[in-house]
Amino acid sequence: FAPWEDADEKPLIEFRNVTKRFGDFTAIDDLSINIYRQEFYALLGPSGCGKTTLMRMLAGFETPTEGQILLDGQDMAAVPPNKRPTNMMFQSYALFPHLTVAENIAFGLKRSDMPKSEIAGRVDEMLRLTRLEQFGKRKPHQISGGQRQRVALARSLAKAPKLLLLDEPLGALDKKLRQETQFELMDIQEKTGTTFVIVTHDQEEAMTVASRIAVMDAGRIIQVATPDRLYENPNTVYVADFIGEINLIEGKAEPLGDKLTEIHWAEGEVPIIGTAAEDLPKGTACHFAIRPEKVAISSERPETHANAVQGRVHDIAYLGNISTYHVELKNGQIIKAQAANNRRLSRRSFTWEDPVWLSWTDTAGVILTE
Ligand code: ATP
């Protein structure tokens, strides 16, 4: 069982109907979530959706206008930031330039009630954890950006918080270093067993590091799920569109029984057949959502797939291992299909204006009504 599926597991963090208003603007709107021990929990959403506000309430820099935040079962309302078992790592690492790496890591420990004799040992442990053993005596300007990022992480984990809050921690790193650092973060999170909550607007980053992702929009949570579930079973068009690439075909539902549903979507086109989460009333407005990699592209109509539409290749994005074909249907709509570029199988690839068939199985997509 994952902790969030285990009814006996107590959450580390509980948001109970939390609302945060700034004047008459509602930044967080009646939001309830549970976050469990050892989770790597990502808050994902567009700019201004309330991610940072949610984190700042956890850290104690903001107080909810309504509702409760519990940490380990304790209401945090009256607990100031420095008395919470939390720490926050910011995008600008704010290392002290005149202190060495080791002194930076020790800084918070010296001001805590940790006995002096234990501090050096703890600093060494943190240097090992973040693979900075050789850099303890250097100043921040004598190490790379990625290493500075690890110092900041070591410093924020030194006091062994129950919860580490990471606000766009990798925003300053270039793409390659950012990807490497994501794996380091996961590794360190696993080794320490600390609960991490990360704010990011980079969906790939959230998919890589997180045990679960909360997708937010305008102060609300739209869906919380594991990365694969979010990708395979988005609950709304908003989530489907936000995570990865997706084709959305608008239409009207006609139930065939047992959740099997026909979607009538364009004049002169055969209805799409898919499975809905429930039997929908006839005529319900809906979207059929399907990932490009689930759409097969071929020059002949395939016999194996139930759903098939005809179109012409309009654009091709060559990505090395795969190509994405943008295929224009008779009604002008573009559907994306991905196919592997595998020369050894001498798979015929397609070129501009080629007439093609796009096809998929009954279970390849999802039907969304919101
Ligand atoms: P970004 O990805 O751009 O950092 P975010 O999702 O973290 O965005 P927040 O910083 O939480 O968004 O802000 C949510 C909304 O609340 C925004 O519309 C913002 O303008 C507003 N807001 C945040 N802090 C305050 C404040 N102190 N006073 C007034 N409005 C605020």
- Write down the pLDDT at residue 345: 53
Please indicate, yes or no, whether residues 221 and 283 belong to a single structural domain of this protein. Answer: no
CA angle 210, 122, 200 (to 5 degrees): 20
Contact 362, 276 (CB under 8 A): no
Residue 134 and residue 197 in one domain: yes
Pick the closest to residue 370 from 267, 244, 277, 275 (CA basis): 277
C-beta separation of 349 from 298 below 8 A:
no
> Which CATH number belongs to the domain containing residue 193 in this structure?
3.40.50.300
Domain region containing 106? 3-240
C-beta of 27 in contact with ligand 1 (< 6 A)? yes
Euclidean distance between the first and the last CA atom of the chain, given in angstroms as a whole number: 30
Q: Are residues 233 and 305 in the same domain?
A: no
* Domain stops at, among 240, 260, 280: 240
Atom number, ligand 1, closest to the C-alpha of residue 53: 11
Q: What is the pLDDT of residue 142?
A: 94
Structure tokens at 10: 């107590």
User: pTM, whole model, 2 decimals?
Assistant: 0.89
Phi, psi of 259 (to 5 degrees): 70, -15
d(CA 143, CA 138): 7
| 319 plus 363 within the same structural domain | yes
How many domains does one find in the chain? 2
251 and 299 share one domain:
yes
Which alpha helices (DSSP H) does 60-202 contain, by range? 101-110, 116-129, 145-157, 175-192
Alpha-carbon distance values, 366 to 148, 161, 206, 248, 312 (Å): 44, 41, 22, 10, 24
Q: Are residues 185 and 330 in the same domain?
A: no
Integer CA distances (angstroms), 297 to 71, 94, 158, 179, 344, in order: 51, 51, 53, 32, 18
| Ordered per-residue pLDDT tens for the chain, 370 residues | 788 888 888 999 999 999 999 999 999 999 999 999 999 999 999 999 999 999 999 999 999 999 999 999 999 999 999 899 999 987 666 899 999 999 999 998 988 888 888 999 999 999 999 999 999 999 999 998 888 989 999 999 999 999 999 998 887 778 888 888 899 999 999 999 999 999 988 899 999 999 999 999 999 999 999 999 999 999 999 999 999 899 999 999 999 888 889 999 988 888 999 888 888 899 999 999 999 999 999 988 888 777 999 999 999 998 888 899 999 999 899 999 998 887 665 555 788 889 999 999 888 999 999 8
Q: Same structural domain for residues 96 and 182?
A: yes
Residues 177 and 276 in one domain: no
Best of 44, 51, 92, 200 to mutate for ligand 1, by most ligand atoms within 8 A of CB? 51
Instruction: Quote ipTM for the complex.
Output: 0.95
Beta-bridge partner residues of 5: none
Do 218 and 149 share a structural domain? yes
Final residue before a domain boundary, out of 212, 240, 268: 240
- Cβ atoms of 154 and 105 within 8 Å: the answer is yes
Report in angstroms the alpha-carbon separations of 102 from 147, 165, 295: 13, 22, 53
| Pocket-testing residue among 21, 25, 43, 53, ligand 1, by greatest number of atoms within 8 A of Cβ | 53
Residue with tokens 């900075």: 132
Do 209 and 313 reside in the same domain of the chain? no
